[in-house]
């Protein structure tokens, strides 16, 4: 039952919980590293959230390669998650962040890739039988 729930809802939930409690956390520095070029690379909480979203998207695309009725339900729920992202981005003030927009783009990619991969794999599964006998 849990495999029909789209994984892209996890970053949405995490963003809402963390963003509601700490609205300005996404640009805060998590850590920094000095590279060999002497350039300082700063890793923020927003970067971590985007990485988590990419991980969820990866596993969601992997799940869309099978073609059964649960996957169709998953695609419908993925579309609902995308609509939730879109409405929240437009309406909720703390969601007006680049991090949230990128997570929403990942949800859009999940919907488009999920339907496309499922259709392509279903086309591959179809076999045509031709008979040489004439019809009566």
CA atoms within 13 A on the CB side of 4: 9
pTM: 0.83
**Using CA atoms, how far apart are residues 111 and 75, in angstroms rounded to an integer?**
6
Determine contact, residues 44/30, Cβ cutoff 8 Å: yes
3 state SS of 129: coil
pLDDT in tens, 39-85: 999 999 999 999 999 999 999 888 877 767 788 888 899 999 999 99
Q: What is the pLDDT of residues 89-101, one digit of tens each?
A: 999 998 999 999 9
Domain ranges of the chain: 8-122
Taking Cα atoms as reference points, which of 53, 60, 42, 64 lies closest to residue 102?
53
């Amino acid at each position: 039952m849990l495999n029909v729930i789209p994984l892209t809802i996890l970053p949405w939930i995490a963003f809402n919980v963390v963003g509601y409690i700490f609205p300005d956390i996404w640009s805060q520095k998590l850590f920094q590293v000095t590279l060999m070029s002497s350039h300082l690379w700063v890793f923020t909480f927003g970067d971590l959230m985007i990485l988590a979203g990419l991980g969820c998207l990866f596993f969601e695309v992997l799940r869309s390669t099978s073609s059964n009725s649960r996957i169709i339900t998953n695609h419908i729920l993925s579309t609902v998650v995308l609509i939730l992202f879109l409405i929240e981005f437009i309406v909720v003030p703390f969601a007006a962040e680049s991090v949230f927009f990128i997570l929403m783009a990942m949800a859009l990619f999940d919907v488009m890739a999920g339907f496309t991969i499922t259709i392509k794999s279903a086309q591959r599964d179809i076999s045509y039988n031709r008979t040489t006998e004439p019809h009566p």
